[in-house]
Amino acid sequence: MIELKNVTFSYSGQGDGGLKNFSLSVRSGECILLCGRSGCGKTTVTRLVNGLIPHFFIGELTGSVMVNGMEVARTPLYRTAEKIGSVFQNPRTQFFNVDTDSEIAFGLKTRHFLRRSCAVG
């Protein structure tokens, strides 16, 4: 379902930092914990999966990131958001809601509206 193959990414202007030759495969129904020291690239992996990289965060990206057969880098964010929900580290500090379940459901609840605004904008 989620497939990262040989992904290398460094944020614009960051030089040598970021991810190097990273691969990860997550099958449908699997629950995985990605752990590592601060700054090792965990958040960067989530940004690759939800499409904020490369659509929002600019940098050097090689390798491929696929979600449900879609190549995230070539898929508009509103389409990726139909499959991927993201929550922040603190469960009570989210973008639109005060708990993580509602935050994930929010994208699905509002997707018709989002699709319309993207078509208009």
Ligand X SMILES: Nc1ncnc2c1ncn2[C@@H]1O[C@H](COP(=O)(O)OP(=O)(O)O)[C@@H](O)[C@H]1O
The site partner of 80 among ligand X, Mg ion, none (C-beta below 5 to 8 Å per kind) is none
The site partner of 111 among ligand X, Mg ion, none (C-beta below 5 to 8 Å per kind) is none
Q: Which is nearer to Mg ion, 62 or 89 (CB)?
A: 89
- E strand residue ranges, the chain: 2-11, 19-26, 59-67, 70-71
Decide: is 40 part of the binding site for ligand X (CB under 6 A): yes
Q: How far is residue 39's CA from residue 14's CA, in Å, rounded to a whole number?
A: 13
In contact, 2 and 50? CB cutoff 8 Å: no
Burial class of 56 by CB neighbour count within 10 A (0 to 12, 13 to 18, 19+): exposed
Q: Which is nearer to Mg ion, 20 or 115 (CB)?
A: 20
Strands 2-11 and 70-71: unpaired
Q: Which is nearer to ligand X, 60 or 110 (CB)?
A: 60
Decide: is 42 part of the binding site for ligand X (CB under 6 A): yes
Q: How far is residue 68's CA from residue 59's CA, in Å, rounded to a whole number?
A: 24
List 6, 23, 25, 43, residue binding ligand X (CB under 6 A): 43
List 6, 14, 23, 25, residue binding ligand X (CB under 6 A): 14
Residues that bind ligand X (CB under 6 A): 11, 14, 17-18, 36, 38-44, 57
